[in-house]
Structure 1
Amino acid sequence: MTTQEKTPHETHAVELESEFEHEPVPQNRRKSLLTVSAVWFGFPMILTNAVPGGVVVALLGFWRGLAAILVANLIMFVYVSLLSYRAGRTGESFALQATKTFGTIGYTLASGFLATIVVGWFAFNTGATGATANQAFGWNEQLVVVLAGLAFIAVTYLGIRALSVLGAIAAPLFIVSAIIAVVIAAQSHNLGAIASYAGVGGGGLTFGAAVSLIMATFADSGTMTADFTRWSKNGREAVLATATAFPVASVVAQLTGGVIVAAGAIAGADKVGGNFLPLLTDGQGVLLSALAAVFVFVNLGSVCTHCLYNGALGWSHLTKSKMRIMTLILGVLGLVAALAGVWNHFLDWLVVLSIFVPPLGGVLIADQIVLWRRSAQRAVAKARPTAFIAWTIGAVAGGSVHWLAPELSDAVSGLLVAIIAYVVAETVSARTPVKV
């Protein structure tokens, strides 16, 4: 008699599925287009994404704000789709992608940077959950943060399938809540005046800065898209799954915030943005208050779990550990940060992301998409100087635009400059003779 040995990734019915932290996802373990789309679709359609949409409309006016939202999301679609296409073809996570471009040691800087940033997002949105529940219902903020954070950690621990289920619930719930908020706003405000809304003015935000602000909300997880789309059956399905997030889900969330701001339903919108939750809770009765409570936890829980998954997957590869172990460790650290109030620095956080993250993604695109033939034939290196040079040049360009030419977009500028810098650096490097 012979017995068939199980492969390392075959799981018993009661065991959790492997998350393939250290190798590409095998073709026979890939997910359906619907499953991967649910992961991405439910991610950007969140309350905290309605906030920057409202800020942009408040400062630029409805039509210019809408244009900035659309331009930013179309750029994000191209940007994230290119990285997703590569992930769908190879099954590689962001950490594995970064290893090929930055080197087996060099990748630790790029991957560690983003894997830490997204844990910051987990902390921010967990803190925002407590603050929102406190403002809306008077609940104890710290207690809500702890309970919500533990629940988010538990869902993330279950892995990619749990993210797809949560996304499939969070997105429809957002749409229902947004429609109700618009209907309530229409009862006391003239929706017909939305198109003529000129904003609060004051010159506090340029069009280019608005595009950067919108891009920055998902620049980090967008760059790490491979962690999600590596589960796609192929590159085409990875791109289709990405499209459900950018532009569809992201535009829905940001435009919802913008519309309610333009209707005049949110006071101080230039600071608080498109947070429409108070419309659902201010004297609207028990049923709507219950809906709002569920909405807060499910909606913000979606972004928290996705970000923690990105961080745990990245750090599990960096530490040669398991995603679920790092979920527990990073989840607790993020929870402590949330209790410390990191969520209060939202706009400052976005400025940092818009300068440093897009150039990193630009280097990956240049190396693995533009120069894919060269990268496919290249020997593995411990560190690749051209990648770091291009990333630095792109970040410097983005920072320069931010402070010296704010009418332009620092995110787009840094992205394009990094791509060009990498191609030039690689071309010069290939032509430079090696001294013996």
Structure 2
Amino acid sequence: MTTVHRPEAPARPEGNARPTSRSEEYEHTPVPASARRSLLSVAATWFGFPMNLGSAVFGGVIVYNLGLPQGLLAILVGNLVLFSYVGALSHQAGSTGKNFALLTADTFGSRGRNLPAGLLATVVIGWFSFQVGLTGTTLSGALGWSALAGAAVGGVLYTLLTMAGIRALSLIGMIAMPLFLVLTVVALAYGLDAHTSLADTFGYRGAGTALGFGGAVAIVIAGFADSGTMTADFTRWSKDGRSAVLATLTAFPFANFLANAAGGLIVAVGGTANPATDGGGFLNLLTGHSTLLTAFAVLFVFVNLGSVASHCLYNGAVGWSALTPVRMRSLTLVLGAVGVAFALSGVWGYFLNWLNLLGVFVPPIGAVLITDRLLRARMGNRPAGTYRATALASWAAGAAAAAITHYTLPELVDPVVGIITAAGVYAVAETVMRRRPTAPHPDTAPPA
């Protein structure tokens, strides 16, 4: 009798895991090794993000206040701080494959994470709405187009782009960076020709207003405090922790420094009429010369602001998806519609001040995440629990210190004060609680 050997059925993924898919975004589970992406792909996700008009505006404001030499130094220092902060968080993401919401659960507790993760996932939708509104006003100011129509078209395009997932963010980054660099050179050439000489540009001393060096560094950090803290949503796709850090390095200091510095140079050549408010925005230097250049300027607006908007919407959709049973793409549609509605209503114009202020309160979250990982490496793991009081209290302490510094000591760098305070309070609190011989750690549940 002949025995018939049947081919074995493929192994079924354990638990609720799904087979690796190019369309899977892994909102609720770590990214598996089989789905990790190349260094170039992850780097493109990050280096295309800072290459935007907003970064140029901030850089221009800094140089207008401090002058070109000191302004560029403040921009460099701010970007080095961002690299240290975002790089440490990225290493954790690349090592574990976890997104931001999953990492906060490890540190703040399974329910305690809802506050920091939910806050940031909401704040970035405000930034998305701001970029959609800015698309309309930028096209209106430079070309006379309808601001509402420009915002509506931009909002729909950016939402559809985000729905394509991490692959689309990588692709638009590869387009945004070279386009930004080429058009910056063109804008500077027109600015030098019309306004000033090269020698006068490098000798630009600024307006000498109230903004100090520390405040300028804080502006650079605040520009990416939110998405920088949520870097795990992007760098969890890296092959490992080292690759995640290298991907971050392409953004900070390199790409963001170039974008900030470009805005500073635009101000130094006299390329903007109101540098105190408009900073280094240079779209006006690209229009009115030829039809072809104007067409590139329109493309630049949608690619440039679309890169920022789609990254922010992706952060928000992944964040809220991790906190709920809803999938990322469904939430992208919902949150995108909400953001576009706010943009079309004109409310987005009031967002900038409070969004930047929230940047003061956000870095202490990342400081607690980084410190917790270092402590676990040295002292061993501890139960995550439902709510981790030491983590939440340390975040509150860091945020309070940063806010007090922001209002009373503007010469200091308030995000750095918040980071140091939160990290110090958390390290002390955890060390004390772990060394108490008679009492269990407050985050450890008693046995049933």
Q: Tell me the SS of whatever aligns to 1:24.
A: coil
Q: CA deviation at 1:228?
A: 0.5
Q: Which residue of 2 aligns with 1:345?
A: 350
Q: Which residue of 2 aligns with 1:387?
A: 391
RMSD: 1.6
Distance in structure 2 (CA, Å) of the matches to 1:410 and 1:234: 32
Task: Note if 1:301 corresponds to 2:306.
Answer: yes
Equivalent pairs counted in the alignment come to: 430
Q: Which residue of 2 aligns with 1:114?
A: 120
Distance in structure 2 (CA, Å) of the matches to 1:49 and 1:349: 18
**Residue of structure 2 aligned with 1:368, choices 354, 373, 398:** 373
Letter of the 1:109 partner, please give it: L
Distance in structure 1 (CA, Å) of the matches to 2:352 and 2:339: 19
Q: CA deviation at 1:380?
A: 2.5
Q: CA deviation at 1:223?
A: 0.4
Alpha-carbon spacing, 1:223–1:36, altered in 2? closer, same or farther (3 Å): same
Q: Note if contact 2:223-2:356 (Cα within 8 Å) is conserved in structure 1.
A: no
**Residue of structure 1 aligned with 2:381, choices 377, 381, 406:** 377
Letter of the 1:332 partner, please give it: A
Q: Which residue of 2 aligns with 1:156?
A: 162
Q: CA deviation at 1:344?
A: 2.1
**Residue of structure 2 aligned with 1:182, choices 171, 184, 188:** 188
Q: CA deviation at 1:139?
A: 1.0
Q: Tell me the SS of whatever aligns to 1:19.
A: coil
Q: Which residue of 1 aligns with 2:135?
A: 129
Q: CA deviation at 1:369?
A: 3.0
**Residue of structure 2 aligned with 1:79, choices 77, 85, 98:** 85
Q: Which residue of 1 aligns with 2:286?
A: 280
Q: Tell me the SS of whatever aligns to 1:377.
A: coil
Distance in structure 2 (CA, Å) of the matches to 1:122 and 1:104: 27
Letter of the 1:70 partner, please give it: L
Distance in structure 2 (CA, Å) of the matches to 1:135 and 1:351: 24
Q: Which has the larger radius of gyration?
A: 2
Q: Tell me the SS of whatever aligns to 1:17.
A: coil
Distance in structure 1 (CA, Å) of the matches to 2:258 and 2:351: 21
Q: Note if contact 1:213-1:354 (Cα within 8 Å) is conserved in structure 2.
A: no
Q: Note if contact 1:213-1:350 (Cα within 8 Å) is conserved in structure 2.
A: no
Give the unaligned 5+ runs of structure 1: none
Distance in structure 2 (CA, Å) of the matches to 1:260 and 1:121: 24
Q: Note if contact 1:355-1:414 (Cα within 8 Å) is conserved in structure 2.
A: yes
Q: CA deviation at 1:6?
A: 6.2
Q: CA deviation at 1:347?
A: 4.7
Q: CA deviation at 1:5?
A: 6.0
Distance in structure 1 (CA, Å) of the matches to 2:374 and 2:350: 35
Q: Which residue of 2 aligns with 1:264?
A: 270
Q: Which residue of 2 aligns with 1:233?
A: 239
Q: Which residue of 2 aligns with 1:193?
A: 200
Q: Note if contact 1:119-1:334 (Cα within 8 Å) is conserved in structure 2.
A: yes
Letter of the 1:202 partner, please give it: T
Task: Note if 1:323 corresponds to 2:336.
Answer: no
Q: CA deviation at 1:427?
A: 1.5
Q: CA deviation at 1:105?
A: 0.3
Q: Which residue of 2 aligns with 1:246?
A: 252
- Please report the TM-score for the alignment, with normalisation by the length of structure 2: 0.93
Distance in structure 2 (CA, Å) of the matches to 1:184 and 1:370: 53
Q: CA deviation at 1:370?
A: 4.6
Q: Which residue of 1 aligns with 2:3?
A: none
Q: Which residue of 2 aligns with 1:335?
A: 340
Q: Where does structure 1 differ by over 4 angstroms across 4 or more consecutive aligned residues?
A: 5-8
Alpha-carbon spacing, 1:139–1:153, altered in 2? closer, same or farther (3 Å): same
Q: Note if contact 1:358-1:415 (Cα within 8 Å) is conserved in structure 2.
A: yes
Q: CA deviation at 1:351?
A: 3.6
Q: Tell me the SS of whatever aligns to 2:286.
A: helix
Distance in structure 2 (CA, Å) of the matches to 1:51 and 1:371: 40
Q: Which residue of 1 aligns with 2:424?
A: 420
Q: Note if contact 1:84-1:229 (Cα within 8 Å) is conserved in structure 2.
A: yes
Distance in structure 1 (CA, Å) of the matches to 2:75 and 2:250: 16
- Please report the TM-score for the alignment, with normalisation by the length of structure 1: 0.95
Q: CA deviation at 1:371?
A: 4.1
Q: CA deviation at 1:319?
A: 1.2
Letter of the 1:9 partner, please give it: R
Distance in structure 1 (CA, Å) of the matches to 2:383 and 2:364: 24
